[in-house]
Structure 1
Amino acid sequence: MELMSDIFSRFISTVSSISYRDIIDMLLLAYFIYKGIKLVRETKAQQLIVGIFVVVVIYVIASELRLKMMTFILENFFQVGILAVVIVFQPELRRILERVGRANVKSLNVFNDGYSADNTTQNWSNAIDVIGETVSQLSESATGALIVIERKIRLGEQIDTGTVMDCIPSVATFGTIFFPKTPLHDGAVIIRNARIVAAGCFLPTPQKEERINKQLGSRHRAAIGMSENSDAIIVVVSEETGTISIAENGELTRGYTKERLIKYLRSQIIPEKKPAEATLLSKIIGRKDQKDGGKSKKD
């Protein structure tokens, strides 16, 4: 009891010592951390931040356990690592600073995510149907197309290279974008949260060009490169043959039909519905009904 009383009194003392300045300080810190995470997650620096966090945790553990060799190596790593990070991730750091410079009052809204977050199953189902119909029509006319479907890894860098949009996918919209000789037809369309967020985007080149089939065109190479750098699903329509292909995890699979494409995209993007578990209240009500039913039978 004395221990609990002592802990409680310390807690009350700590809380009572917090001033309004401390509250403002904590809120500002939380806000800037949140905005920093939002900026970083749009770039390759996201993986870097995770790696740095892991190294810091290892360093703290090594210091607590007094592992001299490990601590010495990590301390020297931090000294050189900061300079290496600035050099290697210079484009990402520049892009982040540019976004901060372009920020306006509207962007200071904590809940403003920049794009629609309506990621419902119905929206994805509609978007996939539209993609399937669009790709089928473009395949028949041998019109080239490149559609990137974003998943967990954010594609902010690629979005910045194109024309930013925010619209619900439709066959007419895709047809306008990929119509030959139009300004956006050579680039990629990026889908996020079942919406078109950008068009005319440039995608990274494959990491190992020598392993790519020489007969593949620029769209297929870009699709493979994008799939190597993210978990996105990339749909390609060949401008020469009208063949429908999918690039994923660095691999290109060709010869999709409309039905097969829609089925595959649904299986990969729309989560399977799990049977809803009975709530505690429903279980109690169910048991009560069973008991009441048993009593009525006895009566």
Structure 2
Amino acid sequence: METIKSYINSAWGVFKSMGINDIIDILILSYLFYHIMRLIRETRALQLAKGILLLVGSYIIAVVLNLQTIKFLLKICFQWGFLAIIILFQPELRRMLERVGRSKIADLASFKAGDTEVESDKIRAAIRAVCDASVKLASTKTGALIIFERKTKLGEQIATGTRLDCVPSAAVLGNIFVPNTPLHDGAVIIRNGKILAAGCFLPKPEKEELINKQLGSRHRAAIGMSENSDAIVIVVSEETGTISVAENGELTRGYVEDTLKRLLYNRLLPDKNADSTKENSLAGRVISKWKK
């Protein structure tokens, strides 16, 4: 009991000595901690965070009860734990840093070169072509996987496919996804309004076991790609002809031409479309993430 009282008195002493700078420090750390928890949500890193909290709690109990052996073992774990976290969770840490790099603060500091109006016109034309192609492919139940690259560059995926560097159109996309052709199984990647590559292979989802078994390989690949980047991924199901969109690890379904076009305009040309919340409500069915 004396040990507990001493800890309480120490905590009260720290609280009484706090100043404005300390309060600001705590608020900033709380804000950062909140966003870190949001970033690692639904990832393996969330289980890691729970495990770390459990070890910290065990260490506090060991200190209070004066359990020397457990204290010694936990100190060793903490000494090498940070290095182990970096090694084991390198993909999650990389994604976290990529998302931080895609923040609006980073946008303010970035230098944007080139004619933005010309680029916007190309993106608009690409959106119209993709929407037109998606509807035609859906009507014939032809499977398709189309990716709009955004801030995260997809060089690794582009390297696995065939470089095309052509202007997108319904005819070109329709020919690419004709069954039994060399490029129909992979994904088409569009950068700055141009088809950069086709037949590209995509990463698997992080937690594939949680995805509904009704979803095929294209939908799983779309979710995996959206988890690893900020890309917008359009999927056409070859079984049902349903048009789906994957973004930030979440899959929404039931799009038609108008709702798909509105979503793409809002995501790819946000300055021209201030309302970015209505398009999901117009989709036939919206699923936050397909699970068992």
What TM-score, normalized by structure 1, do the two folds share? 0.53
> Which residue is 1:92 aligned to?
none
> Which residue is 2:129 aligned to?
130
- Structure 1 residue 218, shift from structure 2 partner: 0.3
1:256 and 2:255 are equivalent in the alignment? yes
CA 1:183–1:120: 2 relative to 1, 3 Å: same
Which sections of structure 1, spanning at least 5 residues, go unmatched? Answer: 1-75, 90-116, 275-299
- The answer on whether the counterparts of 1:149 and 1:191 sit within 8 Å (CA) in structure 2 is yes
> Which residue is 1:120 aligned to?
119
> Which residue is 2:162 aligned to?
163
CA 1:216–1:187: 2 relative to 1, 3 Å: same
> Which residue is 1:232 aligned to?
231
CA 1:162–1:118: 2 relative to 1, 3 Å: farther
The CA distance in 2 between the partners of 1:140 and 1:172, in whole Å, is 15
User: What are the equivalent positions in structure 2 for 1:156-195 lying under 5 Å apart?
Assistant: 156-195=155-194
Amino acid at match of 1:258: E
- Structure 1 residue 172, shift from structure 2 partner: 1.1
- Structure 1 residue 271, shift from structure 2 partner: 3.2
- The answer on whether the counterparts of 1:119 and 1:194 sit within 8 Å (CA) in structure 2 is no
- Structure 1 residue 120, shift from structure 2 partner: 1.4
The CA distance in 1 between the partners of 2:268 and 2:165, in whole Å, is 20
> Which residue is 1:153 aligned to?
152
Q: Is 117-126 or 242-251 further displaced after alignment?
A: 117-126
> Which residue is 1:201 aligned to?
200
Amino acid at match of 1:180: P
CA distances 1:216-240 after superposition (whole Å, capped 9, x unpaired): 0000000000000000000000000
Which sections of structure 2, spanning at least 5 residues, go unmatched? Answer: 1-78, 92-115, 274-292
- Structure 1 residue 119, shift from structure 2 partner: 6.2
The CA distance in 2 between the partners of 1:160 and 1:119, in whole Å, is 27
- Structure 1 residue 273, shift from structure 2 partner: 4.3
The CA distance in 1 between the partners of 2:133 and 2:241, in whole Å, is 12
The CA distance in 2 between the partners of 1:173 and 1:227, in whole Å, is 24
CA distances 1:110-132 after superposition (whole Å, capped 9, x unpaired): xxxxxxx9961111111100000
The CA distance in 2 between the partners of 1:119 and 1:162, in whole Å, is 27
What TM-score, normalized by structure 2, do the two folds share? 0.54
CA distances 1:59-111 after superposition (whole Å, capped 9, x unpaired): xxxxxxxxxxxxxxxxx99xx89xx69xx79xxxxxxxxxxxxxxxxxxxxxx
The CA distance in 1 between the partners of 2:199 and 2:130, in whole Å, is 17
CA 1:141–1:210: 2 relative to 1, 3 Å: same
User: What are the equivalent positions in structure 2 for 1:14-163 lying under 5 Å apart?
Assistant: 120-163=119-162
The CA distance in 2 between the partners of 1:118 and 1:223, in whole Å, is 29
What is the aligned length? 170
> Which residue is 1:48 aligned to?
none
The CA distance in 1 between the partners of 2:222 and 2:162, in whole Å, is 18
The CA distance in 2 between the partners of 1:123 and 1:171, in whole Å, is 15
Q: Is 119-128 or 234-243 further displaced after alignment?
A: 119-128
RMSD: 2.8
The DSSP-based 3-state class of the residue aligned with 2:129 is: helix
- The answer on whether the counterparts of 1:245 and 1:256 sit within 8 Å (CA) in structure 2 is yes
The DSSP-based 3-state class of the residue aligned with 1:169 is: coil
- Structure 1 residue 164, shift from structure 2 partner: 1.0
Amino acid at match of 1:120: E
The DSSP-based 3-state class of the residue aligned with 2:230 is: coil
> Which residue is 1:63 aligned to?
none
Moved over 6 A (4+): none
Amino acid at match of 2:233: I
Larger Cα-atom Rg? 1
> Which residue is 1:39 aligned to?
none
The CA distance in 1 between the partners of 2:209 and 2:218, in whole Å, is 16
Amino acid at match of 1:150: E
> Which residue is 1:222 aligned to?
221
The CA distance in 1 between the partners of 2:178 and 2:137, in whole Å, is 9
